[in-house]
Amino acid sequence: MTIPTPAELTFVPLPAEPAPRGARGPVAWLRRNLFGSWFSGIVTVLMVLALGRAAAAFLDWAVVDAIWTLPGNAIADTQACRAPEVGACWALIREKYRFILFGIYPYAEQWRPALCVAIFVGIYLASANRRWWDRRLLAAWVAALVAIGVLMHGGVLGLRTVPEDQWGGLPVTLILSTCGIVMAFPLAIVVALGRISRTSPVLRLVSTLYVEIIRGIPLISVLFMASVMFPLFLPEGVTVSKLLRAQIGIVLFIAAYLAETIRGGLQAVDAGQSEAAHALGLSYWQKMALVVLPQALTLVLPPIVSLCIAFFKATSLVTIIGIFDLLNAGQRSVGEPAWQGFGTEAYLFVALIYFCFCFSMSRYGLSLERRLKRSR
């Protein structure tokens, strides 16, 4: 009897068999994913026919029969676009893209709102990276918002003053949504803490009333309220610009929804955390700021990203009360007689811009959710 050596005892697996023929390759993929059953096959054929027809019609309209440039120097001659067999009139976008993006901001100064949009996008991208979430990012946010204010308004550093009623387009949409969320955040935290306060029934009642009333009515009525009713609340002589009134309405609206979400996070943090902080002798505010809130906010980050997408889209409602945002600029770009009837092109352009922002935010939200789940 021989004792096997350790080398003989080592398990040596057989080499893996190749997958059976017909389970790999494009044909197998087609068979599995498009013709898995006779029903699936019929669906595939019908879908190919329908999508093919739709795609062909859309390409005809958007590319083949489209008009990209128009004759005319000062005022474009849009007659060529009105012929019956002509498709999309992208010359509208070529002519009006600066109007749609920046509104009636003085033409020579439009590098300023363009730079503002770039700063916004830059600070969004910087904030997306979780490793950078510290005091420096906070400072960068403050710097960015100040820079945007200076750039848009001017009046200092040799920049020409551009009053608010000449702002328009994409920067207004970005300002309303970004500042709305930034300013609503502290308010939302206070309201959320108020709603779950155990020591102050008054604060609880006021917070609950505020949240439930705002969440019970549509945003458009909050905006009407801000634009019509707000001046009534102010003493005589004090006026607030239209844009700022809309901004206040949006902040009040966002804060109510944000407060509900944050409250959900606060209640999901284990009670032991709060008790442990209490036992360590931390005061209420220390306990909240250092122990409970950081955990609560991390828990509700993905829903907060969804809310941000919703609010970004919701700012388009300010069009109805006459604020010159991106949608309103798109609407007005086809307002003058020469360009009337080309709304489809203008709105597709506007929709594409909104889509880029919202889609990237929603992808980011998904990846954040996955990473937070993994780290837990």
Partner 1 sequence: MAGAAQAQIDDIEKPRRLPPLRVLAVQALIVAAIAGIAWFLIATTLSNLNARGITTGFAFLRTPLAQPINHSWLTFTPGVDTYGRALFIGFLNTLTVSAVVIVLSTILGTAIGLSRLSGNWLLSRTAGAYVEATRNVPVLVQLVFWYQLLLQLPPPRGALDLGAGVFVSNRGIRVPTVLLDGHVWLALAAGIAAAIVLPPLLRRAGLSRSGGMWTLRLLLVVVPPLAAIWLTGAAPALDWPHLQGLNFRGGAALTPELSALVIGLTAYTSAFIAEIVRAGIQGVPVGQWDAARSLGLHRGTTVRKVVMPQALRIIVPPLASEYLGVTKNSSLAVAVGYPDIVALVNVAISDTGQAIEGIVIIMLAFLTISLAVSAFMNWYNRRVALVSR
Exactly one of 78, 178, 261, 316 binds partner 1 (CB under 8 A); that residue is 316
Asked if 213 is part of the footprint of partner 1 (rule: CB under 8 A), the reply reads yes
**Can you tell me the distance from the alpha carbon of 245 to that of 289, in angstroms, rounded to the nearest whole number?**
31
DSSP state of 109: G
Place of tokens 């026919």: 49
Residue 62: CB atoms within 10 A of its CB come to 15
In the complex, what is the shortest distance from the CB of residue 352 to partner 1, in angstroms, rounded to a whole number? 9
Q: Are 274 and 287 in contact (CB under 8 A)?
A: yes
Which residues in 18-47 contact partner 1 (CB under 8 A)?
Answer: 33-34, 36, 40, 43-44, 47
Most distant CA atoms of the chain, gap in Å: 109
In the complex, what is the shortest distance from the CB of residue 231 to partner 1, in angstroms, rounded to a whole number? 8
Q: Are 126 and 166 in contact (CB under 8 A)?
A: no
Phi, psi for residue 138 in degrees, rounded to 5? -60, -45
Q: What track of x and - describes contact with partner 1 for positions 181 through 200 (by CB under 8 A)?
A: ---------------x-xxx
Instruction: Determine the 3-state secondary structure of 67 from DSSP.
Output: strand
B/e letters for 322-339, b = 16+ CB within 10 Å, e = fewer, are: ebbbbbbbbbbbbeeebb
Q: Under rule CB under 8 A, how many of the chain's residues touch partner 1?
A: 63
Exactly one of 19, 48, 118, 366 binds partner 1 (CB under 8 A); that residue is 48
Determine the interface stretch with partner 1 among 9-17, 60-68, 139-147, 262-270 (rule: CB under 8 A): 262-270
**Can you tell me the distance from the alpha carbon of 283 to that of 295, in angstroms, rounded to the nearest whole number?**
17
Determine the interface stretch with partner 1 among 64-72, 122-130, 144-152, 267-275 (rule: CB under 8 A): 267-275
Asked if 317 is part of the footprint of partner 1 (rule: CB under 8 A), the reply reads yes
Exactly one of 19, 56, 228, 276 binds partner 1 (CB under 8 A); that residue is 228
**74: closest CA among 102, 95, 105, 91?**
95
Which residue number, 133 or 285, has a Cβ lying nearer to partner 1? 285
Asked if 236 is part of the footprint of partner 1 (rule: CB under 8 A), the reply reads yes
**Can you tell me the distance from the alpha carbon of 364 to that of 297, in angstroms, rounded to the nearest whole number?**
17
Asked if 8 is part of the footprint of partner 1 (rule: CB under 8 A), the reply reads no
Q: Are 323 and 165 in contact (CB under 8 A)?
A: no
Asked if 294 is part of the footprint of partner 1 (rule: CB under 8 A), the reply reads no
In the complex, what is the shortest distance from the CB of residue 4 to partner 1, in angstroms, rounded to a whole number? 42
Which residue number, 23 or 47, has a Cβ lying nearer to partner 1? 47
Contacts of residue 144, Cβ cutoff 8 Å, sequence gap at least 6: 119, 120, 122, 123
Asked if 60 is part of the footprint of partner 1 (rule: CB under 8 A), the reply reads no
**Residues lying near partner 1 in the complex (CB under 8 A):** 33-34, 36, 40, 43-44, 47-48, 51, 196, 198-203, 206, 213, 216-221, 224-225, 228-229, 231-236, 267-271, 274-275, 309, 313-314, 316-317, 319-320, 327, 330-331, 341, 343-344, 347-348, 350-351, 354-355, 358-359, 362
